[in-house]
Amino acid sequence: MANEQEYRKNGFMAQREKGSYAMRIRTRAGNMTSQQFCKVAELADKYGQGKLHLTNRQALEIPGVPETHYADILREVQAAGLLTAVTGLRLRTIVACPGNALCRFGLVATATLAEQLDEVFVGCEMPAKTKLGISGCPNSCAKPQGTDIGLQGAALPIVKDGCIGCGACVRTCLVNAVTVTDKQPVIDPEKCVACGRCAQKCPKQAIVVKTQGYNIYVGGKFGRQPILGAKIFAAVPEQAAEVYVAAIIRAYKQLGNAGERIAQMLSRIGLDAFVETIKKELNNNDL
């Protein structure tokens, strides 16, 4: 028998009933092949109770696995190329919406970024458990503002010439950020959420997207004392997102105390100090 620390490291989670565990299998951006789903179902029949549970962080759990089956189910999970969940003081499974691959509102390729970040960062040691969420647009389905590090697709619009006063931009804006006076669109930056809808609907390209990428948030969390994260960067280009996440992680490792999540660290040192350290890390990468 292994110890509880090893169990948790490999996604084998103790349940209420003594000697009963759940094997938790993580996904990348919530995606699996149909063959992988079938394999998990097979394992649930073989080692569990023939049931599966979908977690709120896009993982699959096989509940009711006896402790005596730990080595056998782990061996089969690994042989099938499935990924076990990450626990402890590490960067946890990355949650992501489908992004522009499937969703009509998606602005960015969230699944691609989630896979890239998973390869590099998931499971790495952190000062405390660290969660990362990626949403493809301001609808924020993956709740990026409620995670330690959150990325949200953004398309920042600007006004150009050519408006015919049709009002399509006004009608399509869901936050009433656009007005048109004398065939001149005006975008209220305080209201605009950078969804890009006005630019998409403008028939004359009098409104276009200036920059598109990710808004980046830090310090969000749920739990007993929920906190919304603070936006620290706007419309970071997609190709630079991984570099920004790496800089945030390095800064957190420098400044965070053991067991201290980013929100707690920010209450101690302040947001400005964290952002300055992140910027120094970015400068080290010539960004």
CATH of the domain at 112: 3.30.413.10
Domain assignment of residue 43, yes or no: yes
Give mean pLDDT, residues 107-129: 96
Domain assignment of residue 68, yes or no: yes
| Calpha distance 214→104 (Å, rounded) | 17
Give mean pLDDT, residues 168-177: 96
Domain assignment of residue 228, yes or no: yes
- Shared-domain flag, residues 11 and 74: yes
Which of residues 25, 57, 84 is at a domain's end? 84
Mean pLDDT for all residues in the chain: 95
Please tell me the predicted confidence (pLDDT) of residue 1.
Answer: 64
Domain assignment of residue 90, yes or no: no
Give mean pLDDT, residues 69-90: 95
- Angstrom CA distances, 238 to 69, 107, 117, 151, 168, stand at 43, 10, 12, 10, 28
Domain count, the chain: 2
- Burial of 19 per CB tally in 10 Å (0-12, 13-18, 19+): exposed
Query: Taking the complete model, does pTM exceed 0.85, yes or no?
Result: yes
User: Which range of residues forms the domain containing residue 234?
Assistant: 95-154+213-284
Please tell me the predicted confidence (pLDDT) of residue 286.
Answer: 59
Which of residues 33, 54, 84 is at a domain's end? 84
Please tell me the predicted confidence (pLDDT) of residue 3.
Answer: 85
- Shared-domain flag, residues 54 and 106: no
Please tell me the predicted confidence (pLDDT) of residue 152.
Answer: 98
CATH of the domain at 77: 3.30.70.3340
Q: Note the residue count of the chain.
A: 287
